[in-house]
Chain A
Amino acid sequence: MIPPQFDYHAPGSLEEALALLGELDDAKVMSGGQSLLPMLKLRLATPANIVDIGRIPGLDSITESGGSLRIGALVTETALEENATVAERYPILLDTAKVIADPLVRNRATICGNVAHGDPANDHPATMLALRAQMVATGPKGERTIGVDDFFHGLFMTSLDPGEILTEIRIPAPGERSGGAYLKLERKVGDYAVAGVAVQLELDKNGKVTRAGIGLTNLGFAPIRASAAEKALTGATLLEQRGFKGAIARVRGIFSGGLDADEVIAAAAQAAADATDPVADRRGSVEYKRNMARVLTARAIRQALSRAGG
């Protein structure tokens, strides 16, 4: 539990950090350090240099502007949890932050770090997939924006170049009738997910799903978008329909070749399970994990619907 020797750099500005990354060999960026430090202590990571961006001013803000929520590189999970806009308008982010590790870790851990680490067991990547977030990478040549679908390549592999820093995550502001939820099955609190499912839905005024985002945690070598499940939901009307009007609507739906809400949700959940490629480990068998993807997807869809005012 003692890390090997490394040189530690604490730049005071983004420019300085980028310059260091350019000139140092074998350098690793550290923000909150909550993934990197354990890897160092286990000697699983042995970088010669650590560039700690934690002291750079101006990277720790959460703002909603220009139609998106902008999360700076140094925004901690705790800051996200305590943010009123997030709590009110992006409950799925709050769900996600709350189930990461424990409060001590969340006081230091950053959202951008969680994403940039490229670990499919981390929770935010699935949520970012569901939210169709944009990743802002800053490098020596300036800023570029990477769509979340182009960001994750595999275990600890992302589109970030070695000289780049993930400086901001931009999340499109939700439409009027939208809602999301992140559900995580864990063996005990603070664990990595046995399975995690993020669902973000947007409905039109009739309750029809106009847009669905579903991301899956720790169910493959990279965070997974459950595209077929999203497709199964898109265009469907899933609102809980009660009473006479509901019955009429259901009958109409069925006559027009549609499925009822339960069936649509079950089909989407199964499609999400089919999109997974888990490995058997102490968290369970492949079979179990696939089924948990199915069960959690169905539950997350229902919760997202309810939050969307369904």
Chain B
Amino acid sequence: MAPRTSAKICGMGHSMKRKEDPRFLQGKGNYIDDFTLPGMLWLDIVRSPIAYGKIVNIDTSKALEIDGVLAVLTGKDLEAYNLHWMPTLMSDTQMVLPTDTVMYQSQEVAGVIATSRYAAADGVAAVEVEYEPMKPVIDPFQALEDDAPVLRTDKEGQEDNRIWHWEAGDKEATDKIFDEADVVVREKMHVPRIHVASIETCGCLADFNPVEGHLTVYMTTQAPHAIRTVLALVAGHVGLSEEKIRVVSPDIGGGFGGKVPVYPGYVIAIAASVVLGKPVKWIEDRMENLQADSFARDYHMDAEVAADSSGRIRALRIKTLADHGYSDAQAAPSKFPAGLFSICTGSYDMENAYAEVDAVYTNKPPGGVAYRCSFRVTEAVHCLERIVDTLAHKVGKDPATLREENFIGKEAFPYQSPLGWEYDSGDYQAAMDKAKEMIGYDDLRREQAEKRARGELMGIGVCSFTEVLGAGPSKDFDILGIKMFDSAEVRVHPTGKAIARFGTKSQGQGHETTYAQIIAEELGLPAAHVQVEEGDTDTAPYGLGTYASRSTPTAGAAGAMAARKIRDKAAKIAAHLLEVSEDDLDWEPGTFSVKGAPDKSVSIQECAFAAYTNLPEGLEPGMEATNYYDPPNLTFPFGTYICVVDIDRGTGEVSVRRFVAVDDCGNIINPMIVQGQIHGGLTQGLGPALYEEIPYDEDGNNLAGSFMDYLVPTAVETPAWETGHTVTPSPHHPLGAKGVGESATVGAPPAIANAVVDALAHLGVTHMEIPIRPDRVWEVLREKGVAG
């Protein structure tokens, strides 16, 4: 689609260079650790070396002897203010600091406050904690056994380790289809515990002003407004009411869902600032970040597909066990404890489906955050896209063909899925066709056959995912009761330049550019003249923040709607200036002209000036508008990814030779930014597919607690991504756009896993658990007698 605006205006469709990049590339960003305040103190945290046990004693005396150490806060200290526990965003509870029991390795046990980062660390090393270890519950299946100890004895009425049960779909009807189906395939699969591992760890600078009773918290949060409200709800009883709290989220070095939750460190820093009356800074180190901050995924899925003998899918049935660690501290919408897992019927038309998830407590860190994934969509898509391949191999069909034969046709939209979604738009075959063409699918299949005959292992993996994002419509979506709308406030200055503020918060997504282009598209002001601000609760309009690919679907739409309000007002002014009726005006981005007399025109800038200097009678001065956008539906981007791998028979190493990603995210605002999002997302899909995992031993020790063992792929491991797109606009979004930030993270892992399984399918392999490590592949090769 050709852009509607000129390159000078740079509205939608222009690959405008990111406005934020000059400061990032020159090291002039303003991240949390760049903030310094006079008299600032440092917090460092004592953490539990064991996964489960009683705290017998905490001796702080040696720590307090260290020069510069001012205080050590324990759970008992916070208990005095009733701040030792806090609610999670899922209405569960979580310790800030324990008073008697630790529940996972690396849990916060005490906070050391000192005059320097170094003294604080020395203080941490000097705090002596005596524990009485208990046998932890690490395996979620074991957590459900009758003789498993009940971990959450603090919760009244909690008699086992179950957190909740969720289900969707018609069980009876689904079971009936399975009973009579020609073909049933089943795979058990685990999407393991992983971590967002953003380049910037979490941290905050809490600044309580004891005179004013005012608290400012600079912090790494993707949702500053929601955090402020939560703080007011949690600490209202100690005098921190919402108007006295300001949360500032500065430049953020990656969030990916990991900076949505409230971590104990933030609360300890705030408590310390309140107690000491000084600013207190807390910055996590990498190991703390990996070991204690919210994890993602950890779904154990047992999936079945029923089909007729030709491979036509009839029904899907998934039973899932979700390991939530010791608290349900994910950040999903209230009514969706299993996130949007019910998108698991994906791109395929089927008669029925039934999915259930049981969540359990274990002695691991809490979380379940949506790591670059719109609430459990990654799990759902991995499950479906893997088992669809199993079905294809079972009925002897090419996996691409089987998918095509099961696609929801483009004429079927809006499509009602068996599990209750209304897909807004889609053309799955178009994305598949483009991906196959780009990669040369048929040639690759021929090459594979030749190589197989020579004993070489090459595989081709296909994934045709459907995403669901943009939470969301207020009738269904809220977090702690707050509806998941989002907002924009646009003000045009007399000289025709503008400031636009949003309720979301960029963590690298490029909002300063994308949002400016949306305003440019609607108002015809050059995007370069639109300054975008987010993240300060004192100035930005209220919104639920940036995660789940919701910024463009919600706040982006709000920006367009606010700009349209301004354009309507500008039209009145233009009519006044041109001395015609409003109905006699034509609008081209940036210019109103008189119908039939195009040389009689005024620019949007002239209208802006007039809004402050030369108004028609009865019109309110100024040029400003606000919109709180409650989306009518979610958006459903989709795509087809095709991946080619070669396997080293000697070592089991998988090398991704090619990877084609064809995405459809509706109308595109900035093609370059979208491509960047896809590249980043693909790399974050490659990680869990081949490298990343946080395993625990039976004692609850984290076995990947640093970058030595938590293997984030680098440029060396990353293939040269090949991207393409099709455009199927969203019918309900004001710009026809959909979110895109997470599609690639969702679509990449099954494409890669499918390619590896495809390379081994002739040996009878139907499934490989991710991450597909070389040693795992080699074990399979050896078992099948083909290891080199």
Whole-angstrom CA separation of A181 from B242 in the bound complex? 66
Residue of B nearest to A192 (CB): B708
Cβ of A36 to closest chain B Cβ, rounded Å: 16
Contact A188 B691 (CB under 8 A): yes
Please tell me if the beta carbons of B703 and A282 are within 8 angstroms of each other in the complex: yes
For residue A124, CB closer than 8 A to chain B, the reply is no
Query: Once bound together, how far apart are the Cα atoms of A299 and B651, in whole Å?
Result: 11
Give residues 765-787 of B contacting A (CB, 8 Å): 773-775, 778-779, 782, 787
- For B788, the chain A residues whose CB sits under 8 A away are 295
Q: Is A2 an interface residue (CB 8 A)?
A: yes
| Chain A proximity of B675: nearest CB distance (Å) | 25
* In the complex with contacts A190-B714, A291-B787, A295-B651, A185-B774 CB distance below 8 A: yes
B40-87 residues at the A interface, CB under 8 angstroms:
44
A2 adjacent to B117 (CB under 8 Å): yes
**A148 on the B face (CB < 8 A):** no
Which residue of A is nearest B288, CB measured? A1
Q: Does A288 lie within 8 Å of B716, measured CB to CB?
A: no
Instruction: State in angstroms the CA–CA spacing of A189 and B716 once bound together.
Output: 7
Contact among A1, A4, A187 for B773, CB-based, below 8 A: A187
In the complex, are the beta carbons of A189 and B651 less than 8 A apart?
no
Contact string, B665-709, partner A, CB cutoff 8 A, digits 1/0? Answer: 000000000000000000000000001000100000001100011
Chain A residues positioned under 8 Å from B779 (CB to CB): 285, 288
Binds A, one of B118-126, B204-212, B608-616, B629-637: B118-126
Q: Flag if B714 contacts A187 (CB, 8 Å).
A: no
CB-nearest residue of chain B to A285: B775
In the complex, what residue of chain B is closest to A183 when comparing beta carbons? B651
In the bound complex, CA of A188 to CA of B704 (Å): 14
Q: How distant is the Cα of A189 from the Cα of B653 in the complex, in angstroms? A: 13
Given known A-B contacts A2-B118, A282-B709, A284-B775, A189 and B285 have beta carbons under 8 A apart: no
Q: Tell me the bound Cα distance from A5 to B67 in angstroms.
A: 12
Q: How far is the CA of A5 from the CA of B123 in the complex (A)?
A: 12
B777 to chain A minimum Cβ distance, whole angstroms, is: 10
- Shortest CB-to-CB span from B271 to chain A, Å, is 22
Most buried by A among B120, B703, B714, B775: B775
**Does A69 sit at the interface, judged by CB under 8 A?**
no
Query: Which of these, B125, B286, B704, contacts A1 with CB under 8 Å?
Result: B286
CA distance A7 to B519 in the complex (A): 58
Within the assembled complex, what's the spacing in Å between the Cα atoms of A75 and B101?
52
Q: Does A144 contact B (CB under 8 A)?
A: no
Check if B775 sits within 8 Å of A43, measured CB to CB: no
A275 at the interface (CB under 8 A from B): no
Shortest CB distance A109–B (Å): 16
**B118 smallest CB distance to A (angstroms):** 6
- Total interface residues on B, CB under 8 Å, equals 33
Query: Residue on B with the closest CB to A185?
Result: B651
CA distance A189 to B711 in the complex (A): 10
Chain A residues with Cβ below 8 Å from B782 are 291
- Complex-state Cα separation, A188 to B771, whole angstroms: 13
The answer to whether A191 has its CB under 8 Å from any CB of chain B is yes
Whether the Cβ atoms of B704 and A282 lie closer than 8 Å is: yes
Closest to B653 in A: A185
Residues on the B chain within 8 Å of A188, using CB: 691, 711, 713-714, 716-717
By beta carbon, the residue of chain B nearest A46 is: B125
Tell whether, in the assembled complex, residue A288 and residue B775 are in contact, meaning their CB atoms are under 8 Å apart.
yes
The answer to whether A5 touches B122, judged by C-beta atoms less than 8 angstroms apart, is yes
Complex: chain A residue closest to B782, CB-CB: A291
Report whether B121 and A291 are in contact in the complex, using a CB–CB cutoff of 8 Å.
Answer: no
Judge whether B651 and A1 touch: CB under 8 Å: no
In the bound complex, how far is the Cα of B121 from the Cα of A271, in angstroms?
49
CB neighbours of A194 from chain B (8 A): 774-775
A contact residues around B122 at 8 Å (CB): 2, 4-5
Whether B287 sits at the interface, judged by CB under 8 Å, is yes
Q: How far is the CB of A167 from chain B (nearest CB, A)?
A: 30
B774 touching A187, Cβ below 8 Å:
yes
Q: Which has the most chain A C-beta neighbours within 10 Å: B117, B121, B287?
A: B121
**Which single residue of chain B is at the shortest CB-CB distance from A43?**
B125
Is residue A92 within 8 Å, beta carbon to beta carbon, of the partner chain? Answer: no
For residues 4 through 50 of chain A, which have their beta carbon under 8 Å from a beta carbon of chain B? Answer: 4-5, 43
Residues from 241 to 271 in A contacting B, C-beta threshold 8 Å: none
- Bound-state CA distance A187–B772 (Å) is 11
Closest Cβ of chain A to B756, distance in Å, is 16
Docked pose: A2 CA to B44 CA in angstroms = 10
Residues A288 and B717 in contact, CB atoms below 8 Å apart: no
Quick check: is B650 within 8 A (CB to CB) of the other chain?
yes
Shortest C-beta distance, B455 to chain A (Å), equals: 16
Residues 282-303 of A, flagged 1 when their CB comes within 8 A of B and 0 if not, give 1111001001100110010000
Nearest-neighbour CB distance to chain B for A97, whole angstroms, equals 16
Bound complex: CA A282 to CA B117 (Å): 32
- Per-residue CB contact flags for chain A residues 213-230 toward chain B (1 = under 8 Å, else 0) read 000000000000000000
Closest to B709 in A: A282
Q: Mark B490-521, 1 if CB is under 8 A from A, else 0.
A: 00000000000000000000000000000000
List, in ascending order, chain B residues with CB within 8 A of A187's CB: 691, 711, 773-774
Nearest A residue to B706 by beta-carbon distance? A42
Closest B residue to A289 using CB positions: B775
Task: Decide if A291 touches B778 in the complex (CB within 8 Å).
Answer: yes
Q: In whole Å, how far is B552's beta carbon from the nearest beta carbon of chain A? A: 33
Residues of B within 8 A of A299 (CB): 650
A291: B residues at CB distance < 8 A:
778, 782, 787
- Contacting residues of chain B (267-317) with chain A, CB-CB under 8 angstroms: 285-287
CA distance A149 to B134 in the complex (A): 47
Contacts of B285 in A (CB 8 A): 1
Given contacts A4-B125, A284-B775, 11 further A-B contacts (CB under 8 A): A1-B285, A188-B717, A284-B773, A285-B779, A288-B778, A291-B778, A292-B651, A295-B650, A295-B651, A295-B788, A296-B651
Per CB-CB distance, the 6 closest pairs between chain A and chain B, nearest first, are A2-B121, A284-B775, A1-B285, A189-B716, A295-B650, A288-B775
Q: List 16 A-B contacts (CB under 8 A).
A: A4-B122, A185-B653, A187-B711, A187-B774, A188-B713, A188-B714, A189-B714, A190-B714, A194-B775, A282-B709, A284-B778, A288-B652, A288-B779, A292-B651, A295-B651, A295-B788
